[in-house]
Chains A and B, each alone.
Chain A
Amino acid sequence: MMSHDLQWYYPEKISEALKLIQKEGVILHAGGTRILKTEPRNLKGFVDISHLKLNYIKKEVKNIIIGAGCTLSDVINYCKKTNSLDGLCMALAETASTPLRNRITIGGSLKDFPVWSSLYSPLIALDAKLELAGVKELCSLEDYVKKNIIKSKHIIKQVVIKDDKDIICRVMRFNLVRFEYPIFNVAVALKVKDKVVMDSRIVITGVKGRFHRFKQSEKVLNGSTLTDEVIAKSTEYFVPKFHHDYKYSPEYREHIAKVYFNDIVKELKEDMK
């Protein structure tokens, strides 16, 4: 049950919104679904971002730029229409349900790294960058989490993703029931030229430290044609570390994650043909 004394603010400029969220107990409101799930304590007000005009998706030079106010449905529709970012599209299409995807925003799914977000693994695999309000330089999504920028009072303006047709990406999420929050997400992105892997990024979320990149496995894949030996070797280095959980042991999840990783790389190999 939310407090009855909440204040709503509807700023029209980002600078105004940035000022407002510095007040104690005042937080950003985009779709509102995360707030209703987590019910933050000592809440005094909401800064609604719907008037900030952050709901756009555009192509600029070699990037696809997604405004933080876009809903998951907006991104899915864009990806389908333009036949781009299929890994991201797949991950988002498996998140929650149609009516929730119409409400959950990209910014809200990145802020605070909610456990149910399936957005992080594909975006880190695709080396996405964030533009934060009032900050000139782009910040990689990896740094956003690792350097704890995520904890500061900030506003995500947009997500910048390379628009490179040579990059193929696949994501798998582990949950027993479709509607359940993902236990973990594995994403693999490969930059491929003439059937050779030029670069790779392998990411898992839902592990210790929120996410992990497997640089040793990436090294094995880079420069290869994804032979069975290469895939097997890369899988050997894919050893995620999970927290203890009353439902699934870390060993069980590690085993499943390895199977998923192996399957993804095999699927990507098919895509390369």
Chain B
Amino acid sequence: MRQVFKINSVEKELTLNPGDTLLQTLRDNGYTEVKCGCSEGECGACLVLLEDMPVNSCQVFAMSVKDKKISTVKGIGNLFHPHIIQKAFVEAGADQCGFCTPGMVIASYALLKKNPKPTKQEINEALDGNLCRCTGYVKIIEAVENAAAILSPKVI
């Protein structure tokens, strides 16, 4: 079947099966920046913003969000126009293999939009659904703190 979705502010017709998750649908239609990790909602690699809230796209049926605003990490910033959070991840060395990075950036973006000056505890809580097997989280937390220091709520 085909269905129109609004992804990264653009309406696009995607091909999917009615029982597909949002993760499957996005990846099958070229949005490979959304990573497939555990498929059980535990690793956070597949995070997307659904109406500005981070959700595990592997735990969402695509057909249940057909009229909702969806944003992948490329909707926040891309290679040529990276967002301050993405820059902060690179500068802090918070992206080793990079597999968890899109999910981490999404979670950080959602946090900083809601809470521009988070404490370390609040950052830890906001990233509690994202696993990283490379960095040990220190650099990631540092990147979010650095981004928060640069960003104003207006920019985000």
Interface residues, chain A, with chain B CB atoms under 8 Å away: 1-8, 29, 31-33, 35-37, 43, 46, 48, 50, 73, 96-100, 102-103, 179
User: Would you mind naming 6 contact pairs between A and B with Cβ atoms under 8 Å apart?
Assistant: A7-B18, A35-B61, A36-B41, A73-B53, A96-B129, A99-B47
Taking a contact as CB atoms under 8 Å apart, the answer to whether A36 and B21 are in contact is yes
Partner of A97, one of B61, B63, B128: B128
Partner of B59, one of A3, A73, A103, A179: A103
Report A163 CB to chain B, min CB distance, Å: 26
Taking a contact as CB atoms under 8 Å apart, the answer to whether B129 and A99 are in contact is yes
Taking a contact as CB atoms under 8 Å apart, the answer to whether A46 and B61 are in contact is yes
Taking a contact as CB atoms under 8 Å apart, the answer to whether A103 and B55 are in contact is yes
Interface size on B, residues (CB 8 A): 27
Q: Which chain A residues lie closer than 8 Å to B102 at the CB level?
A: none
Which chain B residue lies CB-closest to A4? B17
Say yes or no: is B44 at the interface (Cβ < 8 Å to chain A). yes
Q: A97-B44, A98-B125, A99-B107 are in contact. Are A32 and B59 (CB under 8 A)?
A: yes
10 other A-B residue contacts (CB within 8 Å) besides A73-B53, A103-B55? A2-B20, A5-B18, A33-B59, A46-B63, A48-B63, A48-B64, A50-B64, A99-B44, A100-B41, A102-B54
Which chain A residue lies CB-closest to B21? A36
Task: Identify whether the interface residues of B are mostly helix, strand, loop, or mixed.
Answer: mixed
B42-77 to A contact mask, C-beta < 8 Å, 1/0: 101001001001111011110110000000000000
Q: Which chain B residues lie closer than 8 Å to A48 at the CB level?
A: 63-64
Which chain A residue lies CB-closest to B44? A99
Say yes or no: is B92 at the interface (Cβ < 8 Å to chain A). no
Q: Which chain B residues lie closer than 8 Å to A103 at the CB level?
A: 55-56, 59-60
Interface centre among A5, A29, A97, A99 (most CB of B within 10 A): A99
Partner of A2, one of B19, B42, B60: B19
Bound: A36/B63 CA distance, A: 13
Q: A2-B20, A6-B18, A99-B47 are in contact. Are A32 and B60 (CB under 8 A)?
A: yes
Which 6 interchain pairs have the tightest Cβ spacing? Answer: A2-B19, A97-B129, A6-B18, A99-B129, A102-B53, A4-B17
Say yes or no: is B156 at the interface (Cβ < 8 Å to chain A). no
Bound: A100/B47 CA distance, A: 10
B67-104 to A contact mask, C-beta < 8 Å, 1/0: 00000000000000000000000000000000000000
Bound: A201/B77 CA distance, A: 51
Report A149 CB to chain B, min CB distance, Å: 26
Q: A4-B19, A8-B18 are in contact. Are A99 and B54 (CB under 8 A)?
A: yes
Taking a contact as CB atoms under 8 Å apart, the answer to whether B126 and A100 are in contact is no
Q: Which chain B residues lie closer than 8 Å to A7 at the CB level?
A: 18
Bound: A1/B54 CA distance, A: 24
Taking a contact as CB atoms under 8 Å apart, the answer to whether A99 and B55 are in contact is yes
Which chain A residue lies CB-closest to B58? A36
Q: Which chain A residues lie closer than 8 Å to B64 at the CB level?
A: 8, 29, 32, 46, 48, 50
Bound: A32/B40 CA distance, A: 12
Q: Which chain A residues lie closer than 8 Å to B58 at the CB level?
A: 36
Q: Which chain A residues lie closer than 8 Å to B61 at the CB level?
A: 29, 32, 35-36, 46
Taking a contact as CB atoms under 8 Å apart, the answer to whether A100 and B18 are in contact is no
Q: Which chain B residues lie closer than 8 Å to A73 at the CB level?
A: 53
Taking a contact as CB atoms under 8 Å apart, the answer to whether B107 and A6 are in contact is no
Q: Which chain B residues lie closer than 8 Å to A37 at the CB level?
A: 40
Report A74 CB to chain B, min CB distance, Å: 10
